[in-house]
Amino acid sequence: MRNRQTSFAAKAAPFLLAALVLSGCAVGPNYHRPAVQTPEAFHGPDQSQQTEPQTASIADLPWWEVFHDPQLQELIRTALKQNYDLQLAVERVNTARAQVGIVRSNEFPIVSLNPNFSGGKTDQNIKSNVFQLAGDVVFQVDLFGRYRRETEAARAQLLGTQDAQQTVILTLVSDVASDYFLLRDLDLQLQISKETVRTQEDSVKLTKLRLQHGVGTTLDVLQARQVLDVANAQIPDLERQIGQTEDAINILLGKYPDNVPRGMPLSIVTPEGWTWSETLPPQLPTGLPSQLLERRPDVHQAEQNLVAANANIGVAKAMFFPQISLLGSGGAAFGHSQFAGSHIPAPLGVGTYTAAATQPIFEGGALRNNLRYAKSEERQALIGYQQTIQRAFGDVSDALIGYDKYHVVRERQEQSVKDLQESVNVSLMRYRGGTATYLDVLDSQRSLFSAELTLAQARNNEYQGLVQLYKSLGGGWK
């Protein structure tokens, strides 16, 4: 038995050795990253002032060093643990990893065993107990690299799926921060509206008192109520927006709609003016433009799509060549038969081996069109890669311009609020002194209320600009 197995292995060895030697080559193009010309500097409002490239970038900072509010940090941590989109992205990575194993299994032999045990006693008093073990080996020789190219494509798709997961993380962190800053802005607008209501109630009381003493008019009372009515109408709408924003945040956190705990307010309104909870610098470091390609996970994903498409060209080309299969089978029987007191041994073993080749002759143009399809997919992936890079630089440019201009708008709106507050104080003094009508006071108060709401929105826009710049530079997913 052992001699027969040795002889079978010796005869099959040359075929296996030849298969291993010949499988070292693979048809189709090897992947090389396309050359991409990136701008020397990011397009932004300060581009003309750039003298030296900034190697440091805000995107190099982890999100907890960019968003300092402890409550916001806790919300982001919860979202990273419980968000359903992120959980789906993780499972897609697991699926892609399993797919790599499935595809790679084609590069190895398939071995199967078929054990069988039989025994019994016949009418002629023949007793037998025989155990049979048969085995088959099938090996598809990857002579032209078809299966290796398929594995290369599957691995690229796995890496692309992992990059897609990082994109989900980046988007999730940015969305939670964006919605949280919007929530704090709505809280500030609600506070302004309630303060305006309290102030205008005092103004209504003043006009009524002056009417009772004969130094005011009914028109003064009605005009005083106008700003009060506008502020009162603003409150329920702001409360609606606050509730809906809380719902959006809880959905991102993987929770059912509920209240959202607050951290630091955007601003505290004092008699001396507004005090911001955090100072945002007018400019933030962006880093080298060439580094953007390494930070943005969507660029990584687009490149892995290109790698996979390039490998599929090799798969399509390999289909034109012969498919070689090596087959081997062997078996043995262990046991005996007993008849009239004598033992009859069972057959010991047998073995066979076969080599077969299949060459496509006529496929109705399927193979040729399959190659055309693969090449077209590769060109589409290349265009998509270039387009993703272009959009990445567009995102950064938009974010840089937006953050810079939002900062300027907020500073100028602060000055407008200060001026209007002084105008309200002066008009009230003149009204009490009888040198001005209440219409002057009404115009000043109405303008101040609108300006304060605009200032709150301008501060929120500044925070939103920070979030968008951080996201566009590829920060927040590490």
Of the two residues 192 and 435, the one the predictor is more confident about is 192
Band (15; pLDDT cuts 50, 70, 90): very low
Per-residue confidence (pLDDT) for residue 342, from 0 to 100? 56
For the chain, what is the total number of helices (H) and then of strands (E)? 10, 7
Residues 393, 39 contacting (CB under 8 angstroms): yes
Of the two residues 146 and 329, the one the predictor is more confident about is 146
Band (428; pLDDT cuts 50, 70, 90): confident
Amino acid identity, position 109: P
Band (302; pLDDT cuts 50, 70, 90): very high
Per-residue confidence (pLDDT) for residue 12, from 0 to 100? 47
Question: What residue ranges in 154-203 does DSSP mark as E strands?
Answer: none
Per-residue confidence (pLDDT) for residue 407, from 0 to 100? 92
Q: Which helix (H) or strand (E) holds 4?
A: helix 2-22
Would the pLDDT of 22 be above 70? no
What gap in Å lies between CA 441 and CA 437, rounded to an integer?
A: 7
Mean pLDDT score across all residues of the chain: 86
Strands 323-339 and 349-358: antiparallel
Residues 280, 463 contacting (CB under 8 angstroms): yes
pTM of the model as a whole: 0.87
Q: Tell me: the pLDDT tens digits for 306-332?
A: 999 999 999 999 999 988 888 877 767
Point out the least confidently predicted range of 115-119, 137-141, 181-185, 340-344: 340-344
What gap in Å lies between CA 293 and CA 301, rounded to an integer?
A: 11
By percentage, how much of the chain surpasses pLDDT 70? 86
By percentage, how much of the chain surpasses pLDDT 90? 55
Residues 457, 193 contacting (CB under 8 angstroms): no
Instruction: Determine the average pLDDT of the residues in 361-373.
Output: 91
Q: Which helix (H) or strand (E) holds 357?
A: strand 349-358
Residues 176, 148 contacting (CB under 8 angstroms): no
The CA-to-CA distance between both ends of the chain, in Å, stands at: 61
